[in-house]
Structure 1
Amino acid sequence: MIEFFLRRKVTTLVVFFLLVLFGYVGLTKLKMELLPDVSFPSLTIVTVYNNVAPTEIESLVTKPIEEILSSVGGVDRILSESIEGISIVTVRFRWGTEIDQALIQVREKLDLVKGSLPQDVKKSIVIRFDPNSAPIMQIAVKTNGIDLKDVRLFLRKNVIPYFERVDGVAAISLSGGFERQIQVNVDKGRLEAHNIRIQDLVNQIDSSNFGFPAGNVREGDKEILVRTDGLFPSVNSIENTVVGVTKAGVPIYLGTVGDVKDTFKERTSISGLMDEECISMILKKESGKNTVSVASDLRDLIGELNEKFGDKIRFQIISDQSILIEDSIASVAWAGILAVIICYCVLSFF
């Protein structure tokens, strides 16, 4: 076989270049990810029981969950940690276990044990580790003409819809800045004076703030969507919500028993870039999508948004997972090119 190729140099070179060509075409069709698509046989169950000491968390929450999960098929070992207000149970399965089926079994077991846990325990959250669930890109949003307090609302109304339309973007989250919140502060004495329960007040506010589709109306060859819009248009409209009536039949308004404030949530995170406070935008991609392709579309979009909204806000990419992937591929490609050159020289020499 070797002598056959050595005697036919032209044929050998043609075959060699065809293999290189097919390899290049195949490489361009491959999905490019930073980490391989590996399903780790591990599930983590997080259960919150607020304001409870670790020892009580251990006995009241962690132990019952451990005991019932030990009967799930394929379990290798169970690890747990009990800290103030939180129970963390990690179930590791044997390699080869169908993790999707194990996830269903774990959730069924948690539903069974729920009745034996304290009443105030929050519903357990099952977390499945995915190495490709890391953010594909993180963007810093800096103010350039509008107040930082208005940036979050501006992003949700004017910017995030653009990112949601990018093929492959699965989730967008924001951190830092100020998040608007409408607070309703009621006076307990006034409620009792008007014989209004706090839950009745909450229910009345909820029932007065709704909107839903009411069907379609045909007009010739057109079809019009009809929607009932009962959402509060302003803070004043919330204060004017009827929450009860007096014995004489006089309506009692929310503003009578309390006040409504248009303010911001308590800040739990602050983002900054180069000693300047900003808002961090974190983007995650859909499973199975090409990271490099999605990131390229996002970079193009960011350039367009900087031109469109540059007088108000500016976008700056902080981290981009596709850069690591492209660098890794470039290293592999360079090694492949060297191998091709060496092989060509050896074949030509002989």
Structure 2
Amino acid sequence: SPEDVEIKVSEPLENQLATTPGIEKITSRSLEGLSVITLKFIWGTNLDEASNDIRDRIERSKRLLPDIPDEMDNPFIFKFNTAMMPILFVGITAEQSYPELFDLIDKRVGDPLRQIPGVGTVQLNGGLERQINIWIDRHRLEGYGFSILDVKNVLARENVTQPAGNIKSGFTDYLLRVPGEFATPDEINSVILGKRNGNLVYLKDVARVEDSFKEVTNIVRINRNQGLLMMIQKQTGTNTVEVAGRVKKKLDDLQKTLPKDVKMYLVMDTSRDIINSLNTLKSTVWVGGFLVILVVWFFLRQ
């Protein structure tokens, strides 16, 4: 339970990690079967050295503190900095197109954005993600002499795309492939499991295939309308303002290609804060320079 995790894991580890050099703040969250401890370091701290120090302290904690359960998994240390934060959050809503919204945005918006120079990742949160479910009638399956493992192996063998060599035309090579991945429930229904008593046994004889969606684990609403959230992260070392500008321009172009009921809204733009800071700095420099000139002129007059 969260209470047990807090007492037996979070608090003992917090006490050991609190004295780590360079640490500014430490917080923890105790959930069912999970402890998340966040350490914030003073700017300029070497995170590689800090990570090694943290690992050593955790190992000492496991040896010295008997209350930490033996079945606890080895902690996973994740280094995070502000450069890893998404630079843009885009809210997307739809009415009639909502069931297909996830795949629609991933292919027609996400893929073009991923090709923009400087863009690292494009992630989607919310919406309905397509999933094909196969409901197997165990009695019919066993009646034909097959097992669940047989079905799994056959589907894995059939659901592949095979390379088919290449064709050379002049100075250009064209790679060939034979698509074999399932696209519709009918294709899965037609998979042959084997032969029994001289007759072919298809998957549809022992199962029902359903074109559906993955279980919804989070719901996103934009202005009270159902939709999804798109998070765009830049590549390390690239200019936030330049990358955000390219992405926003591309979003304007892509909006024209989407169904009329699909609308994209800019929820958060971190480049605006940078631009505002630069404008403030410019204003401060101009005002400061003017005051310096004014003071120097005044004393020279004296």
Q: TM-score range with shorter-chain normalisation?
A: 0.7 to 0.9
Identity percentage of aligned residues: 27
1:99 to 47, 60, 73: 47
**Counterpart of 1:83 in structure 2: which amino acid?**
L
The Cα offsets for residues 255-314 of structure 1, whole Å up to 9 and x where unpaired, read as 111111001122222222222222211111112111111111122112222233363522
1:149 is matched by which residue type in structure 2?
P
Pair 186,129 (structure 1): closer, same or farther in 2 beyond 3 Å: same
**Alignment partner of 2:82 out of 131, 150, 157:** 131
C-alpha distance after superposition, 1:175-214 (max 9, x if no partner): 2221111111111222222232222211211111011434
Distance in 2 between residues matched to 1:199 and 1:58, nearest whole Å: 41
Q: 2:278 aligns with which of 329, 332, 336?
A: 329
Matched residue, 1:14: none
Q: Which runs of 5+ in 2 are unaligned?
A: 63-68
Distance 1:239 1:125 in 2: 42
Instruction: Give the match's secondary structure for 1:323.
Output: helix
1:169 correspondence with 2:169? no
- For the pair 1:282 / 2:231, whether they are aligned, the reply is yes
1:137: how far off? 0.9
* Partner residue in 1 for 2:65: none
CA distance in 2, matches of 1:92, 1:307: 43
Q: Post-superposition shift, 1:126?
A: 3.5
Distance 1:160 1:96, change over 3 A: closer
State the match for 1:293 in structure 2: 242
> How far apart are 1:321 and its partner, in Å?
0.6
**1:223 is the counterpart of 2:173:** yes
TM-score in terms of structure 2 length = 0.77
Is residue 165–residue 175 contact of structure 2 (8 Å, CA) maintained in 1? yes
Matched, 1:205 2:155: yes
Spell out structure 1 runs of 4+ moving beyond 4 A. 53-60, 73-76, 78-82, 89-98, 101-108, 121-125
Residue 45 of structure 1 aligns with which residue? none
Q: d(CA) in 2 for partners of 1:279 and 1:194?
A: 44
SS of corresponding position for 1:318: strand
Q: Kindly tell me: are residues 104 and 236 of structure 1, through their superposed partners in 2, closer, same or farther at Cα, counting changes over 3 Å?
A: farther
Is 2:86 the partner of 1:86? no
**Aligned residue number for residue 269 of structure 2:** 320
Contact 1:75 1:91 in 2 (8 A): no
What is the one-letter code of the residue matched to 2:86?
A: P
- With over 3 angstroms needed to count, the CA separation of the structure-2 counterparts of 1:94 and 1:214, relative to structure 1, is farther
Cα distance in 2 for residues equivalent to 1:181 and 1:123: 33
Q: State the AA in 2 paired with 1:345.
A: L
Give a deviation string over 1:143-182, Cα, whole Å, max 9, x none: 37x4211121211222212211222211111122211111
Aligned amino acid, residue 213 of structure 2: F
CA contact (8 A) 1:168 1:294 kept: yes
| 1:345 partnered with 2:294 | yes
The partner residue of 1:142 within 90, 93, 100 is: 93
TM-score, normalization: structure 1? Answer: 0.68
Gap runs ≥5 in structure 1:
1-52
Question: Once the 2 structures are TM-superposed, how far is the Cα of residue 215 of structure 1 from its aligned partner?
Answer: 3.2
- The equivalent residue for 2:210 is 261
Distance 1:58 1:327 in 2: 42
CA gap of 1:94–1:138, structure 2 versus 1, over 3 A, is: closer
Of the candidates 152, 175, 178, which is equivalent to residue 102 of structure 2?
A: 152
Deviation at 1:79, TM superposition (A): 8.4
Q: Distance in 2 between matches of 1:94 and 1:336?
A: 29
8 A Cα contact 1:74 1:94, kept in partner = no
Give 2:220's aligned residue: 271
Distance between the aligned counterparts of 1:57 and 1:253, measured in 2? 49
Number of the residue aligned with 2:66: none
* Greater Cα offset, 215-224 or 121-130: 121-130
